[in-house]
Amino acid sequence: MSYCFSPNCPQPETAEDSERCQSCGSATRLQNRYIAIRPIGQGGFGRTFLALDFSQSSKAPCVIKQFFPQVQGSRALEEAARLFQQEALQLQKLGSHSQIPELLDHFEQDGHQYLVQEFIDGHNLAEELKESGSFSEAQTLQLLIDLLPVLQFIHQNQVVHRDIKPANIIRRQSDQKLVLVDLGAAKQMTGTAIAKTGTT
């Protein structure tokens, strides 16, 4: 099965081999290569999908973010579009770090902007906390040891994440490293502003 990208589709699940959604008739592939398997999140600015890249023989999994703002007014829409573009630029700049998802693609199709980024196979810390309860002192110390170098890298690039929370930290299954995701609220800072107390 695949999932239709159209925000207004009444029945978005459709056959994987179908070029058009069986419900609304929209194209099921983005850039003639990406197919959504299922939605994995939705917020005020868009939706996120687990997807497959059919341009590769392995049909590599990836994550697609669709810009779909739930805001009213042209000024709010402009700000939402700016933040989405900013996330693409941040990922392009910061995705070279092994604990930040790599930006694979960025494009517009059918009036919507899309980001395609590396899929991180693992569980986020919110899921871990729900399953196991609070972390011990030793676990908390290890979390800081793993995560602080990533934050140092981000700050050295004059960026503040602004949305660090358990749901945005994924423990990668392959090596148990923590990966910081969702740079949608990140802010580029000037050298003087980043050191200023009280900067939000």
User: Tokens 């829409």 belong to which residue?
Assistant: 77
- Residue 163: active-site member: yes
Q: Among the options 17, 105, 121, 163, which is catalytic?
A: 163
Q: Name residue, tokens 């929370």.
A: 165
Q: Kindly report the CA angle at 166 between 190 and 175, in degrees rounded to 5?
A: 95
Burial of 153 (0-12, 13-18, 19+ CB in 10 A): middle
CA-to-CA distance for 196 and 14, rounded, in angstroms? 51
Q: Which residues are part of the catalytic machinery?
A: 163
